[in-house]
Amino acid sequence: MNAYLAGSPLARLGEWMVVNGEQTGVNPRLCAAVAQAESSLGASPRAQKLHDPFGMTDEHKNYASFKDAIAYWFTFIRRHPNWAPWQTGFDIQKPLPYCATNVDTYARNVTGVVNSI
């Protein structure tokens, strides 16, 4: 995981993703894939400002660090019933729970990243 994140703002947080994945049962590769799809692994200006590589916050809330955002993301995904099909496995036929546009492209991109890690 750290090799995939190398050179990004999320570098060296791969182990943190794995630990959170083990604690929640959510595949940590999904975390990295969503961060890639939403913010180029935390590189977007908005992600930098809010410490939010997942696009989950608005301008009025931010996390203290990317590490805090990652921990919250795992908790959120684990308890959100619409994410159940995507927590541990990937089925491109199952729509992502929050992607309102380009669902097929988004699902292919996320699945591709998961499979490449």
Per-residue pLDDT, 61: 73
User: Which two structure tokens, joined as six digits, stand for 95?
Assistant: 């729509």
Alpha carbons 68 and 20: distance in angstroms, whole number: 11
Per-residue pLDDT, 33: 92
Q: What percentage of the chain exceeds 90 in pLDDT?
A: 50
**Which has the higher per-residue pLDDT, 62 or 29?**
29
Label residue 95 by pLDDT band (50, 70, 90). low
Per-residue pLDDT, 56: 82
- Domain at 2-116: CATH architecture: Orthogonal Bundle (1.10)
How is residue 81 annotated by DSSP? G
Q: What is the dihedral of CA 109, 111, 116, 117, to 10 degrees?
A: 110
Domain coordinates in residue numbering, the chain: 2-116
- Give pTM, 2 decimals: 0.85
Model confidence pLDDT, tens digit, residues 36-89: 989 999 999 999 999 999 988 766 678 999 999 999 999 988 887 666 666 665
Alpha carbons 82 and 11: distance in angstroms, whole number: 29
Per-residue pLDDT, 69: 95
> 58, 60, 32, 62: which is closest to 48 by C-alpha?
62
